[in-house]
Amino acid sequence: MKLLLLITALTITCCAIGQSKVAPTATNKAQVRTSIQKCFRRIDSVRFKDPDNLEVENKKLIQLLAKHKEELFKWVNEQDFDFLYIAKSADNKLCLISWDTRMGGTMIDFASMALYKATGQSVKHTLLKGDGDRSGDENTLMHYDTVHTIITGKGNVYLAHGFGQGSTAYPWQEVRAFRIEDNQLKMPAVFPEKENKLFVAFDTHQFGDDELVPTIKVRNQGKTILYPIATENEGFSGKYQTFILSGTRYIEKK
């Protein structure tokens, strides 16, 4: 009888040890936020003392964000220049996270990561890249503040509104399209000329003291987009180009 009790106790102990080894580490928003803030403190530290290590520290931040993607996906929209910009879709399928890498000068080098839910409930992630039309940039150079969810007959399209800075006097912005299809995040060519984005930049030297830089306006649940038209000198013409959703693509309203 004693031998049977000893074997039973050993079995329970071994099972408990095995379970403790595979049990996931408990994390919460406060812990994850603290870890990310520590990462940014290291980035800010090497920014002035050892700038050659900025890329290394940013890679560590990317790894940290990927590690905690399930927790980060639960967070609500957030805009913090010294921390993260977080923008989520209304259907809770797409979340864009952006941050200042501190690797830029007057042109701020924003990077962005997309978290998204494909088939099932698991969260996938991908680091977004620039398209090379701004001096061969590798990062997006945009912080995305809003994600509009557009319902179409072929699934939802997401329009992410992003802002960036080519220099202190050269703000730019874009609306970029995303779609989750075949368990992958894609950037469909929903705009004219087979483009997946609308991009505009202005030179604030062309603006008066009280004149505001216009923004791209997404209206009517995303079915209408008003695009500010720049002059040849990159001032504001005072006019907007209108794009209307037709099926799954936007066409210019004449």
Q: What is the pLDDT of residues 167-193, one digit of tens each?
A: 999 999 999 999 999 889 999 999 999
**Domain ranges for the chain:** 29-252
- Please tell me the distance from the alpha carbon of residue 151 to that of residue 135, in angstroms, as a whole number: 34
- Residue whose tokens read 């900025």: 54
Among 213, 214, 216, 203, CA closest to 242: 216
Residue 56 has pLDDT above 50, yes or no: yes
Taking the model in full, what pTM does it have? 0.85
Q: State residue 138's pLDDT score.
A: 85
Among 70, 74, 96, CA closest to 85: 96
What confidence tier does 48 reach under pLDDT thresholds 50, 70, 90?
confident
Residue 70 has pLDDT above 70, yes or no: yes
- Please tell me the distance from the alpha carbon of residue 246 to that of residue 254, in angstroms, as a whole number: 14
pLDDT (average), residues 48-65: 93
CA distances from 74 to 28, 69, 123, 229 (A): 10, 9, 10, 37
What confidence tier does 134 reach under pLDDT thresholds 50, 70, 90?
low
Mean pLDDT over all residues of the chain?
A: 88
- Please tell me the distance from the alpha carbon of residue 146 to that of residue 93, in angstroms, as a whole number: 14
* φ/ψ (deg, to 5) at 6: -65, -45
The more confidently predicted of residues 27 and 31 is 31
65-69, 108-112, 151-155, 164-168: least confidently modelled range: 151-155
pLDDT (average), residues 93-119: 94
pLDDT (average), residues 42-66: 93
Q: Give 139's DSSP letter.
A: S
Q: State residue 135's pLDDT score.
A: 54
Per residue in 185-233, pLDDT tens?
Answer: 999 999 999 999 999 999 999 999 999 999 999 999 999 999 999 999 9
Residue 105 has pLDDT above 60, yes or no: yes
Q: State residue 76's pLDDT score.
A: 86
Q: State residue 8's pLDDT score.
A: 44
